[in-house]
Amino acid sequence: MKEEDRIRKTLGTENPFRVPEGYFEQLASEVMDKLPEKEHIPTHETTLWEKVRPLLYMAAMFVGAALIIRVASSHYTPAASDETIVAQEEEVEKEMEYIDMAMENTMMDDYSLYLYLADAEE
């Protein structure tokens, strides 16, 4: 703290840096004068085709993907699950039980059944 006071006494509290009069008023114009001239780049007008082309390409991509999926899945048939197969087999067994029971109750042998069915077809 004593050293700071000693420096302030010898140098003073005044700011030693000075800016010339009107420096900031002229600064903007001087900087703009030193910049190179901006080149005029001709603008290209986009045509309707250039605007629509990306959308057309995207639509074609989706149509193509849909056709590929359609062709690839046309040969696919979902496999029956094990539960479905078991349920179908149980249903066939029940039907066969009813047929066997009906055959026993009619007291027909195989030949008689064949004759009965042959007559029914005519």
- Confidence at residue 52, expressed as pLDDT on a 0 to 100 scale: 96
Is 44 inside any structural domain?
no
Is 95 inside any structural domain?
yes
CA angle 100, 108, 115 (to 5 degrees): 110
Is 89 inside any structural domain?
yes
CA 13 and chain centroid, separation: 69
Number of domains into which the chain is organized:
1
Two structure tokens written together for 112: 């008689």
Which residue range is the domain that position 91 belongs to? Answer: 85-122
Is 12 inside any structural domain?
no
Q: What is the mean pLDDT of the chain?
A: 85
Per-residue confidence band for 6, with pLDDT thresholds at 50, 70 and 90: confident
Is 109 inside any structural domain?
yes
pLDDT in tens, 74-103: 776 666 677 888 888 899 898 888 888 887
Is 94 inside any structural domain?
yes
pLDDT in tens, 44-78: 888 999 999 999 999 999 999 999 998 888 776 66
Q: Shortest CA distance to 99 belongs to which of 115, 113, 84? A: 113
Gap between the Cα atoms of 90 and 86, Å rounded: 6
Is 63 inside any structural domain?
no
Percent of the chain with pLDDT over 70: 94
**pTM over the 0.75 mark:** no
Is 102 inside any structural domain?
yes
- For 24-64, the DSSP string reads HHHHHHHHHHHSPPPP-PPPPPPPHHHHHHHHHHHHHHHHH
- Confidence at residue 57, expressed as pLDDT on a 0 to 100 scale: 97
Gap between the Cα atoms of 64 and 60, Å rounded: 6
